[in-house]
Amino acid sequence: MLRITDTITIEDWELTEQFVRSSGPGGQNVNKVSSAVELRFEAERSPNLPDPVKRRLKRLAGRRWTLEGTLIIQCDETRHQAHNRDIARDRLVALIRKATERPKPRIPTRPTLGSKRRRLKAKKVRGDIKALRGKFEGED
């Protein structure tokens, strides 16, 4: 069981781990040792995640979210299988914790009168500069 917050926990059946060969240099061990971990979390089917958290998690996960609603986290940072497994689980916990935070609603504001005047003045100055680039009469 993986504890996320006081109210959210993930059961072991929701997580599957697969150990694969890590990419990159490794010498003679590179073709023998499966130290990288691929952690799969069945987020869409999880009864412990509220719907708003699932929606935010899907948006945060991006490409790591599959069409079936599975969140895939890969880790091949170290050459130790157990350490990679811990890192992957920590990443999952951090991602779900971030998804539990409700976004602050945006309050639309209006531009101030001074900012409008400064913008229009800058446009006028720029237009005057561009007007000087034209051809003069009597040339050619």
Q: For 17-73, what is each residue's pLDDT tens digit?
A: 888 877 766 666 666 777 888 889 888 888 888 888 889 988 998 898 889 888 899
Instruction: Give the model's pLDDT for residue 119.
Output: 97
Is a pLDDT exceeding 80 seen at residue 75?
Answer: yes
Q: What is the mean pLDDT of residues 77-98?
A: 88
Distance CA 91, CA 97 (A): 10
Structure tokens at 108: 């639309």
The DSSP 8-state label assigned to residue 71 in this structure reads: E
Residue type, 21: R
Higher-confidence position of 2 and 99: 99
Hey, what's the torsion of the CAs at 55, 59, 64, 66, to 10 degrees? Answer: 50
Instruction: Give the model's pLDDT for residue 77.
Output: 82
Q: What percent of the chain has pLDDT over 90?
A: 24
Instruction: Give the model's pLDDT for residue 108.
Output: 93
pLDDT digits (tens, 9 = 90+) for 93-128: 899 889 888 989 999 999 999 999 999 999 999 999
Instruction: Please give the sequence-ordered ranges of beta strands (E in DSSP) within 42-86, or none if there are none.
Output: 71-75
